[in-house]
């Protein structure tokens, strides 16, 4: 049975009128270690979290306040409901419309907004809430049926695709593909920060059934923009059906097929592209895009 949301909606200065602390009876089921905690009153506990931009969640029980800081939490969190007699409280820093006081779990949407403006929603569960969080330095993206964490890694030397796959596994991740322009734009921005010109491996191999039968210009067809993925992280891509000018897909060069994918930037020409190369005969990539599924 769902417990009502405790009446407290903690409001502080008017300039932050949309940022509130919403308190429930509950606890963090999988708290990270070590904890940042202090002995204080409930009011001061919530006020300190409200005042500190990086704090997005607090627990309060028996005079102890435990603070959760967005930049320090590197795993997903789960908050579960507790009975009122437990006197265990959790308060979420969230955005809510002005003059709003939800009366139940069903009526509230919890969303933490980072100081950089990025919104991170909590997911409603049957017994509480979960907060998906990537490891430090990894970027969270929502895909159709999953959340994934993505990070670009620059290699010390030029690498093959097989080396890129092995390197990703060394980071407890997999080589990942690109699904949307939002993801591609973020990757291009990350690449631009690495060097003046970089090309990193992506997951994806052109579907064999849509390869041109003969390497002639007449065989270049939109249906050849269909790719198979080596893992469950990528399941499709609206990017490749868009016909956008950022796609430079040649399908073949000389006497070999170009079926694998790279994402690249070149600052001197402001070029930002995704293009295809030989899966086995391209030694010029300098990094890879890795990812993992966020449970």
Comparing 46 with 195, which gets the higher pLDDT?
46
Question: 148: which strand partners?
Answer: 141, 293
Residue 121's H or E segment, with its range, is strand 119-121
What is residue 195's DSSP assignment? -
End-of-domain residue from the set 131, 154, 177: 131
Give percent above pLDDT 70 in the chain. Answer: 86
Alpha helices in 79-150 (DSSP H): none
If DSSP codes are grouped into helix, strand and coil, which group holds residue 45? helix
25 backbone dihedrals φ, ψ, rounded to 5°: -75, 120
Regarding whether 66 and 177 lie in a shared domain, the answer is: no
Residue 109, pLDDT > 50, answer yes
Asked if residue 126 belongs to a domain, the reply is yes
Per the structure, the count of domains in the chain is 2
Note the pLDDT of residue 105: 57
CA distances from 203 to 98, 235, 258 (A): 45, 11, 14
Asked if residue 31 belongs to a domain, the reply is yes
- Is the separation of the CB atoms in 166 and 201 below 8 Å? no
Note the pLDDT of residue 220: 53
Asked if residue 3 belongs to a domain, the reply is no
Note the pLDDT of residue 172: 95
Regarding whether 145 and 97 lie in a shared domain, the answer is: no
Residue 185, pLDDT > 80, answer yes
Note the pLDDT of residue 11: 44
Residue with tokens 């291009």: 188
End-of-domain residue from the set 87, 112, 131: 131
Asked if residue 150 belongs to a domain, the reply is yes
Please state the rounded mean pLDDT for residues 3-14: 44
Residue with tokens 């390869």: 211
Regarding whether 273 and 218 lie in a shared domain, the answer is: yes
The tokens of 157 are what?
Answer: 């030397």
pTM: 0.77
What is residue 188's DSSP assignment? H
End-of-domain residue from the set 90, 109, 131: 131
Residue 181's H or E segment, with its range, is helix 181-194
Band the pLDDT of 7: cuts 50, 70, 90. very low
Note the pLDDT of residue 52: 93
CATH number at residue 275: 3.10.100.10
Q: At a CB cut-off of 8 Å and minimum separation 6, what does 96 contact? A: 9, 18, 20, 22, 102, 108
Please state the rounded mean pLDDT for residues 266-293: 92
In tens, the pLDDT along 206-260 reads: 988 777 666 555 555 555 788 999 999 999 877 887 878 888 888 877 777 889 9
Residue 97, pLDDT > 80, answer no
Regarding whether 152 and 262 lie in a shared domain, the answer is: yes
In tens, the pLDDT along 131-171 reads: 988 888 899 998 988 889 999 999 999 999 999 999 999 99
Q: At a CB cut-off of 8 Å and minimum separation 6, what does 47 contact? A: 10, 12
CB atoms within 10 A of CB 235: 13
pLDDT-wise least confident of 35-49, 170-184, 203-217: 203-217
CB atoms within 10 A of CB 221: 11
Regarding whether 285 and 199 lie in a shared domain, the answer is: yes
Task: Note down the domain range covering 282.
Answer: 139-294
- Is the separation of the CB atoms in 69 and 54 below 8 Å? yes
Taken as a whole, the chain contains a residue count of 295
Comparing 221 with 287, which gets the higher pLDDT?
287
Regarding whether 103 and 249 lie in a shared domain, the answer is: no
Band the pLDDT of 117: cuts 50, 70, 90. confident
Strands 247-248 and 271-277: parallel
Asked if residue 1 belongs to a domain, the reply is no
């Amino acid at each position: 049975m769902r417990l009502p949301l405790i009446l407290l909606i903690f409001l502080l200065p008017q300039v932050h009128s949309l940022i509130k602390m919403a308190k429930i009876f509950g606890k963090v089921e999988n708290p990270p270690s070590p904890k940042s905690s202090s002995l204080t009153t409930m009011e001061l506990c919530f006020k300190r979290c409200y005042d500190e931009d990086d704090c997005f969640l607090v627990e309060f029980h028996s005079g102890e306040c435990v603070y959760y800081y967005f930049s320090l939490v590197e795993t997903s969190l789960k908050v579960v409901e507790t009975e009122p007699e437990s006197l265990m409280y959790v308060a979420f820093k969230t955005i809510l419309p002005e003059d709003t006081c939800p009366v139940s779990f069903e009526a509230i949407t919890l969303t933490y907004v980072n100081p950089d403006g990025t919104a991170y929603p909590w997911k409603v569960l049957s017994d509480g809430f979960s907060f998906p969080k990537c490891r430090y330095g990894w970027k969270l993206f929502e895909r159709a049926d999953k959340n994934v964490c993505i990070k670009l890694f620059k290699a010390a030397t030029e690498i093959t695709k097989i080396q890129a796959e092995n390197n990703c596994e060394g980071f407890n991740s997999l080589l990942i593909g690109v699904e949307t322009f939002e993801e591609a734009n973020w990757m291009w921005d990350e690449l631009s920060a690495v060097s003046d010109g970089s090309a990193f491996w992506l997951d994806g191999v052109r579907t064999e059934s849509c390869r041109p039968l003969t390497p002639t210009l007449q065989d270049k067809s939109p249906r050849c923009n269909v790719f198979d993925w080596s893992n469950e992280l990528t399941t499709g891509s609206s990017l490749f059906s868009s016909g956008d000018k950022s796609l430079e897909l040649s399908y073949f060069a000389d006497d070999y097929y170009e079926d694998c994918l790279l994402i690249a930037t070149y600052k001197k020409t402001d070029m930002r592209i995704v293009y295809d190369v030989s899966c086995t005969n391209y030694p010029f990539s300098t990094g890879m895009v890795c990812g993992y599924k966020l449970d």
